[in-house]
């Protein structure tokens, strides 16, 4: 270091004392022979104070900054030294006059650059050292210090042979000019060494599982923790005492000398200020002749403090192996607190072979492998020369050092953060996750206090990325309070940074968070429906315990008051029905309210660090108006911690006021010509078979589809008066985009033989979500079994109330039938358990079905239906093409069937005779009387167990009745099922109304204590939807410019008399004034009527003006007419026609 006097004059005293070897790389530091003021031993702080006082007086005192840098370098505070030298440089650059130019104008810069480079070498900042040595050479191209040190840095640290040789050649040329022969010879020898061996190799990569490891052979050294070796004479082993050992910077190995009993001393140096722990130290030697003993010695009085470094040694960390005389008792290890521990190997079995060579020869290592720590697998180590230096007396050695750095934190980015913040980065060193023996796991902590042993609150953080020098983590606040907290990194062996790194927690301490739960689905809701899940929220805290004592839920929508709840509830969601209410959810509380906010008080909801989901449910009021919507979310809560509310509205509830009103209908006329006989049929089941795009759902085909429900539930049938809904059963419905088909059975109370029978099919009701069928009601009490054979599963169901269901046996094939689906029983059949309903003890019977043979190879006398599975009672075939009907061994076998042809087979028993038919043609008859008890046991469909014979074909629509239904019934059934399109006519869809709105007349507005009859109610509405579609295509829903397509119906669908006093459907209008007669206006309960509108078929008025005023009104003048445009001028709306004429103006 160059020191400046008080007058900023530069002086350098070159002498032998000015040069000393600072470390093994032999760079030179030039010092003056005299010492700067106050830099006697122990007076460093006084020197600092004096220089700082001088600088306070004269901030341009360049020499003061340089001298301060020297003091800081002496104290090992390299960053402060560098800072003050940069300040001196800035002053020189700004004001060159501040420095004397003694020695040349460039001299001050050269000295400052070299001083900076030298300190960067001590700080092991090689890039900066190279930078300032290079700056030195720009000003002084032959500067010996820069040339020498640059070459050594390039050789040992940058591994750049080309740059190293360039520096050395330039240095040699300079030495040739200066006549320094001895130094030049040393440089040329070094040039030759670099040419032959290249730069010093870096230590090999550590074996798998080892954190950090360095190899030392000869004078090869690790830049962090150098191992030095020196000859010591006489050997301290002679007296087994350590008092004569010389500790310090070792001499160069090549000049060692002494007696034959020389030993080798090994020490740690150059680790000043570095906290580290030795994991393993492995020493291997080969001595050419003589006895040899090894001592491992680490430091002076205390192993825990070597050159200012804190060191710790794992128990058993030290292992030695060597040739020649060796005894464990003669290996001395000094541990902290004076404990002596002998060898405890951790590397497992080793196999090493050495060749002892004459002096000045290289040692070679061969056939070498070692066992990885913690495993039993031998791992190959690179063979061949390993750079062991050949020394006098044939000494070869190699060292392995495994060490772990204590965690040190250099920065935290950002240093201010809140709970759950992600991507926080810690930079530093020594962040080992797991050591080479697999012990422990490293962790990141935040503490309330800056004290590892008494941290106050201590919370582990969630790390997301980890390396030895960088950690990324997500903040977990836990119970930490806001403000300064302290960050720690704890490695796998429990070491941690010496002091907590100060960071800032921005969150307000313990928090309770209302989270936005997993949303319930949007849903249509009906008036008086309960527990409609409208919102899901979660509760969680970052500390325990916590209790929620109050919650507020605020609702929004088109008209919150209109859908005011009869109850708002909070449930704990058990997840039984995902994110929806079900009966297993736990009720927390219920409140009743009107308006937009529900307040829950007196709650006692426990909250912990695991989030729990809750549901808010809404009970819709009875009088809720159709199409109104509702949303809700938690808006406030009472908690102990800081509240964070992230809840947002979830589901939208849309009020759907459902009635039995269907928007569409078709008229079906059953042709009397298709009804056989001379009398009407009672409760006749008619097959309705239809297809078309209109039968698709509105979802599958929005343009053409008219059905709302995917199962066809919104399809019903009514009689000709449209007041009686008919029993029906849907055999098949396909409303898909590729479908549009319906098969249904409808019970016709009276099927007229003489006049056509009219029924109506109604469809298109978006309120319907469940079946409107009455399946058993279709089939009168004389049907004992009806199997449509339409089911694809393992059971075929009996549609009557007798429940004679059949079970699949083997593998009958599910195929297309005569009517919808059916079964081919070639490879399987159905068994039907015994039932008394199928045991005809007396009386008559009727059995019918459709069947088609594939071929006639099914076996002997196969049965369509076999009672008891035997031979006594059956309906099927024999031989095998002849239809066969058998009761109590009385057999009727006649006629012939053809393959691949559908037949409608019938068997009749009148009580005295048996008949068989196909396609209504009689095949034969036989008399039968007496006992008719049928065979007991399991019945079969498509199979006769007695002969293991099956119907080799398809069976469809099998029915059995306990009465003889007669030939006319048979013929009418055949006509219906064989050709449905001929049996009836289906007219086009009648014009329907596209829209409807409920109108609720409030009971509170009705005076008195009894209902009012035929009360004319004024309906006055204005809105854009009341404009015509022509005037306002976007918003308008009225088709007729006169409002003719506006009608009113009661809740049962009966059209109400109405009179339109005024309608304006223009683009600037959208108003309606109408009078509607309410047959019964309830004083006690609200009265609901419906307004229908938007019908393209309506071209004339649907009003019944006089009907509105039928309740003893003598005259009603609205006085709304323009007297210049109408005649008479003022019209009476009653049937009395008391019209008025205007006079004057």
Q: How far apart are CA 1089 and CA 1015, in angstroms?
A: 13
Is the CATH code 3.30.1130.10 the one for domain 512-655? no
Portion of the chain with pLDDT greater than 70, in percent: 71
The answer regarding whether domain 408-505 maps to CATH 2.60.40.1180 reads no
Rounded to whole angstroms, the Cα distance separating 995 from 389 reads: 101
pLDDT at 696 over 90: yes
Would the pLDDT of 913 be above 90?
Answer: yes
| pLDDT bucket at 1106, cuts 50 / 70 / 90 | very high
pLDDT at 237: 27
pLDDT band, very low/low/confident/very high, at 1032 (cuts 50, 70, 90): very high
pLDDT at 383: 28
Alpha-carbon gap, residue 799 to 819, rounded angstroms: 15
Q: Mind listing the pLDDT tens digit for each residue in 981-1008?
A: 999 999 988 777 878 888 999 999 999 9
Range name among 862-866, 974-978, 1002-1006 with the lowest pLDDT average: 862-866
Closest CA to 326 of 275, 292, 357: 292
Instruction: Quickly count: other Cβ atoms within 10 Å of residue 489's Cβ.
Output: 28
Say whether pLDDT at 1104 is over 60: yes
Q: Average pLDDT, stretch 479-484?
A: 82
DSSP of 667-727: EEEE-GGGS-SSS-EEEEEEEEEEESGGGSBTTT-TTT--B-STT-TTEEEE-TTSSSBPP
Domain made up of 16-140: CATH architecture: Alpha Horseshoe (1.25)
Residue of higher predicted confidence among 969 and 415: 969
Six token digits for residue 666 = 């078709």
Q: Is 280 helix (H, G, I), strand (E, B) or coil?
A: strand
Bridge partners, 1101 (sequence order) = none
Residue 924 clears pLDDT 80, i.e. is over it: yes
Q: Do the Cβ atoms of 420 and 506 come closer than 8 Å? A: no
Quick one: average pLDDT of 555-560?
A: 80
Question: How much helix, strand and coil, in percent to the nearest 5, is found in the chain?
Answer: 15, 35, 50
Q: How confident is the model at residue 958 (pLDDT cuts 50, 70, 90)?
A: very high
pLDDT for residue 805 is more than 70: yes
* pLDDT at position 868: 83
**pLDDT greater than 80 at residue 343:** no
pLDDT bracket for residue 339 (50, 70, 90): very low
pLDDT value at residue 278: 46
Helix pair 126-139, 107-122: axis angle to 10 deg? 160
Whole-angstrom Cα distance, residue 203 to residue 221? 8
Question: Is the distance from CB of 859 to CB of 880 less than 8 angstroms?
Answer: yes
Bond preceding residue 751 cis, omega within 30 of 0: no
Please give the pLDDT value at position 293: 30
HEC per residue, 940-1000: EECEECCCCEECCEEEEEEEEECCCCHHHHHHHHHHHHHCHHHHEEECCCCCCCCEEEEEE
pLDDT in tens, 349-387: 222 212 222 222 233 322 233 232 333 333 332 222 222
Q: Can you give the pLDDT at residue 196?
A: 52
Among 20-29, 909-918, 1052-1061, whose mean pLDDT is lowest?
20-29
Find which of 147-161, 173-187, 226-240 is predicted with most confidence, using mean pLDDT. Answer: 173-187
**Tens of pLDDT along 130-148?**
888 888 888 888 787 888 7
- What is the largest distance, in Å, between two alpha-carbon atoms of the chain? 153
Which of 760, 783, 938 is closest to 863 using CA atoms?
A: 938
* Bridge partners of residue 387, in order along the sequence: none
Give the residue from 74, 158, 148, 160 showing the smallest Cα distance to 114. 148
**Mean local confidence (pLDDT), 309-322:** 37
User: What confidence tier does 667 reach under pLDDT thresholds 50, 70, 90?
Assistant: very high
SS3 560: helix
pLDDT at 695: 96
Contact 348, 377 (CB under 8 A): no
In this predicted model, what pLDDT tens digit does every residue of 811-831 receive, in sequence order? 999 999 999 999 998 899 999
Distance CA 1083, CA 73 (A): 102
Q: Which fold has domain 783-964?
A: Jelly Rolls (2.60.120)
Average pLDDT of the residues in 192-214: 42
pLDDT of 97 reads: 54
What's the CA angle centered on 244, arms 241 and 248, to 5 degrees?
125
pLDDT at 313: 39
Judge whether 297 and 262 are in contact, CB under 8 Å: no
pTM for this entry: 0.47
Q: Which of 160, 166, 162 is nearest to 146 (CA)?
A: 166
Q: Which is more confidently placed, 303 or 890? A: 890
The answer, yes or no, to whether the previous bond of 414 is cis (omega within 30 of 0) is: yes
Which has more pLDDT, 625 or 847? 847
Mean pLDDT of 240-253: 28
Residue 759 is predicted with a pLDDT of 96
Q: Torsions phi, psi of 778, nearest 5?
A: -70, -30
Q: Among 85-89, 261-265, 697-701, whose mean pLDDT is lowest?
A: 261-265
pLDDT for the residue 189: 67
Residue 1136 Cα to chain centre, angstroms: 75
Q: Is 215 helix (H, G, I), strand (E, B) or coil?
A: strand
* Lowest mean pLDDT, pick from 92-96, 368-372, 438-442, 467-471: 368-372
Average pLDDT over the chain, rounded to whole? Answer: 74
- What's the pLDDT score for residue 1126? 58
E-only strand ranges, 764-838: 783-787, 795-796, 806-810, 813-816, 821-824, 828-832
Residue 779's contacts (CB-CB under 8 Å, 6 or more residues apart) are 685, 747, 786, 799, 800
pLDDT value, residue 223: 26
At residue 282, the pLDDT reads: 42
Please state, in angstroms and rounded to a whole number, the distance separating the CA atoms of residues 147 and 162. 14
Strand order across the 728-734 sheet: 681-691, 741-751, 728-734
Q: Give mean pLDDT, residues 957-979.
A: 96
- Is pLDDT of 3 > 80? no
pLDDT digits (tens, 9 = 90+) for 1110-1135: 889 999 999 888 776 656 678 999 99
DSSP state for residue 1005 in the 8-state scheme: G
Q: Domain segments of the chain: what residues?
A: 16-140, 213-405, 408-505, 512-655, 664-778, 783-964, 995-1108
Alpha-carbon distance of 940 to 946, in angstroms, equals: 11
**Residue 120: predicted pLDDT:** 85
Mean pLDDT score, 269-296: 38
Does position 150 have pLDDT exceeding 60, yes or no? yes
> Phi/psi zone of residue 323: left (φ > 0), alpha (ψ -120 to 50 degrees), beta?
beta
408-505 shares the fold of 16-140 = no
From first CA to last CA, the distance across the chain in angstroms is 121
| Element at 122 (helix H, strand E) | helix 107-122
Q: 1065 or 106: which carries more pLDDT confidence?
A: 1065
Give Cα separations from 92 to 65, 95, 98, 146 (angstroms): 11, 5, 7, 21
Q: In what order do the strands lie in the sheet with 1071-1081?
A: 1012-1022, 1071-1081, 1058-1064
Runs of H (alpha helix) within 548-627: none
1034 or 1001, which is more confident: 1001
Would you state the structure tokens that stand for residue 479, as one six-digit string? Answer: 């119970």
- DSSP reduced 3-state for 172: helix
pLDDT at 157: 57
Cα torsion 107, 110, 116, 117 to 10°: value is -150
CA distance 938 to 863: 13
Give the pair of three-digit tokens for residue 841: 């003890």
pLDDT exceeding 90 applies to what percent of the chain? 37
How far is the C-alpha of 6 from the C-alpha of 100, rounded, in Å? Answer: 12
Tell me: pLDDT of 44 over 60.
yes
């Amino acid at each position: 270091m160059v020191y400046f006097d008080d007058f900023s004059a530069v002086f350098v005293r070159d002498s032998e004392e000015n040069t000393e070897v600072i470390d093994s790389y032999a760079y030179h530091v030039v010092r003056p022979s005299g010492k700067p003021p106050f830099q006697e031993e122990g007076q460093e702080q006084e020197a600092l104070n004096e220089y700082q006082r001088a600088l306070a007086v004269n901030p341009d005192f360049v020499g003061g900054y340089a001298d301060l840098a020297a003091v800081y370098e002496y104290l090992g505070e390299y960053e402060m030294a560098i800072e003050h030298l940069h300040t001196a440089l800035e002053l020189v650059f700004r004001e060159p006059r501040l420095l004397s130019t003694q020695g040349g104008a460039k001299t001050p810069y050269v000295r400052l650059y070299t001083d900076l480079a030298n300190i960067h070498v001590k700080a092991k900042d090689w890039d900066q050292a190279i930078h300032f040595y290079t700056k030195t050479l720009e000003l002084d191209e032959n500067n010996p210090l820069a040339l020498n040190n640059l070459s050594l840095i390039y050789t040992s640290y940058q591994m750049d042979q080309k740059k190293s040789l360039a520096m050395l050649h330039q240095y040699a040329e300079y030495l040739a000019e200066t006549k320094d022969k001895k130094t030049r010879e040393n440089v040329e020898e070094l040039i030759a060494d670099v040419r032959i061996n290249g730069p010093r190799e870096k230590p090999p990569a550590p074996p798998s599982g080892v954190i950090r490891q360095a190899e030392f052979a000869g004078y090869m050294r690790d830049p962090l923790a150098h191992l030095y070796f020196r000859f010591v004479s006489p050997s301290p082993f002679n007296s087994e005492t350590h008092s004569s050992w010389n500790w310090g910077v070792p001499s160069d190995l090549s000049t060692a000398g002494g007696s034959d009993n020389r030993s080798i001393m090994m020490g740690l140096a150059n680790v000043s200020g570095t906290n580290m722990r030795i994991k393993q130290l492995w020493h291997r030697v080969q001595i050419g002749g003589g006895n040899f003993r090894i001592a491992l010695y680490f430091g002076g009085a205390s192993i825990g403090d070597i050159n200012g470094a804190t060191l710790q040694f794992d128990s058993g960390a030290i292992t030695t192996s060597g040739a020649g005389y060796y005894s464990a008792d003669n290996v001395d290890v000094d541990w902290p607190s004076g404990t002596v521990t002998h060898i405890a190997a951790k590397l497992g079995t080793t196999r090493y072979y050495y060749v002892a060579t004459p002096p000045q020869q290289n040692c070679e290592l061969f056939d070498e492998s070692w066992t990885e720590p913690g495993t039993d697998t031998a791992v190959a180590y690179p063979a061949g020369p390993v750079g062991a230096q050949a020394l006098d007396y044939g000494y070869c050695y190699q060292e392995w050092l495994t060490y772990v750095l204590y965690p040190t934190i250099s920065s935290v980015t950002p240093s201010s953060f809140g709970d759950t913040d992600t991507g926080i980065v810690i930079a530093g060193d020594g962040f080992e996750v797991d050591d080479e023996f697999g012990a422990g796991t490293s962790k990141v902590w935040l503490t309330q206090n800056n004290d590892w042993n008494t941290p106050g609150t201590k919370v582990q953080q969630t790390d997301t990325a980890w390396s030895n020098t960088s950690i990324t983590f997500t903040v977990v606040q836990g119970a930490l309070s806001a403000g300064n907290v302290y960050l720690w990194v704890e490695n796998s062996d429990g070491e941690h940074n010496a002091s907590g790194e100060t960071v800032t927690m921005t969150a307000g301490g313990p928090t309770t968070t209302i989270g936005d739960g997993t949303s319930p689905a949007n849903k249509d809701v009906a008036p008086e429906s309960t527990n409609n899940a409208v919102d899901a929220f979660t509760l969680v805290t970052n500390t325990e315990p916590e209790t929620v004592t109050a919650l507020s839920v605020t609702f929004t929508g088109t008209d919150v008051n209109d859908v005011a709840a009869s109850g708002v509830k909070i449930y704990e969601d058990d997840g039984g029905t995902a994110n929806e209410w079900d009966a297993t959810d736990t009720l927390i509380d219920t409140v009743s309210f009107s308006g937009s906010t529900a307040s829950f008080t007196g709650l006692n909801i426990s909250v912990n660090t695991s989030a729990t989901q809750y549901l808010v449910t809404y009970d819709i009021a009875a009088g809720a108006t159709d199409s109104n919507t509702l949303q809700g979310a938690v808006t406030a809560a009472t908690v102990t911690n800081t509240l964070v509310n992230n809840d947002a509205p979830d589901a939208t509830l849309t009020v759907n006021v459902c009635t039995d009103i269907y928007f569409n209908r078709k008229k079906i006329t059953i042709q009397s010509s298709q009804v056989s006989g001379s009398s009407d049929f009672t409760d006749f089941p008619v097959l309705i078979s239809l297809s078309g795009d209109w039968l698709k759902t509105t979802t599958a085909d929005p343009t053409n589809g008219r059905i709302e429900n995917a199962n066809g539930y919104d399809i019903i049938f009514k009689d000709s008066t449209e007041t009686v809904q008919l029993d029906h059963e849907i055999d098949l419905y396909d409303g898909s985009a590729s479908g549009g088909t319906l098969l249904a059975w409808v019970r016709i109370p009276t099927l007229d033989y003489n006049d056509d029978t009219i029924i109506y099919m109604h469809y298109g009701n978006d309120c319907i979500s469940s079946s409107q069928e009455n399946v058993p009601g279709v089939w009168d009490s004389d049907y004992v079994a009806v199997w449509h054979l339409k089911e694809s599963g393992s059971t075929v169901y009996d549609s009557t109330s007798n429940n004679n269901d059949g079970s699949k046996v083997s593998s009958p094939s599910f195929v297309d039938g005569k009517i919808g689906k059916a079964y081919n029983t070639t490879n399987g059949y159905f068994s039907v358990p015994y039932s008394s309903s199928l045991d005809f003890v007396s009386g008559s019977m009727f059995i019918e079905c459709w069947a088609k043979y594939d071929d006639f190879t099914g076996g002997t006398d196969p049965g369509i239906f076999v009672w008891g599975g035997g031979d006594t009672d059956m309906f099927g075939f024999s031989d095998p093409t002849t239809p066969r009907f058998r009761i109590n061994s009385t057999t009727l076998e006649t006629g012939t069937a053809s393959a691949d042809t559908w037949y409608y087979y019938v068997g009749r028993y009148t009580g005295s005779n048996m008949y068989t038919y196909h396609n209504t043609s009689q095949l034969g008859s036989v008399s039968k009387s007496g006992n008719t008890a049928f065979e007991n046991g399991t019945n079969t469909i498509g199979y006769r167990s007695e002969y293991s014979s099956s119907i080799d074909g398809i069976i469809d629509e099998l029915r059995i009745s306990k009465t003889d239904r007669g030939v006319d019934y048979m013929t009418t059934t055949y006509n219906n099922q064989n050709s449905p399109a001929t049996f009836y006519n289906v007219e086009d869809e009648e014009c329907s109304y596209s829209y409807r709105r409920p109108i609720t007349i409030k009971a509170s507005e009705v005076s008195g204590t009894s209902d009012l009859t035929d009360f004319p109610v004024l309906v006055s509405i204005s809105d854009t939807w009341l404009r015509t579609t022509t005037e306002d295509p976007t918003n308008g829903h009225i088709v007729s410019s006169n409002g003719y397509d506006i009608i009113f119906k009661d809740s049962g669908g009966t059209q109400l008399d109405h009179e339109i006093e005024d309608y304006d459907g223009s683009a600037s209008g959208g108003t309606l004034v109408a009078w509607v007669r309410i047959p019964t206006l309830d004083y006690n309960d609200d009265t609901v009527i419906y307004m229908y509108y938007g019908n393209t078929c309506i071209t004339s008025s649907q009003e019944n003006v006089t009907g509105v005023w039928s309740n003893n009104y003598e005259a009603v003048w609205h006085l709304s007419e323009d007297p210049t445009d109408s005649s008479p001028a003022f019209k009476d709306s009653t049937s009395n026609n008391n019209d008025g004429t205007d006079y004057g103006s």
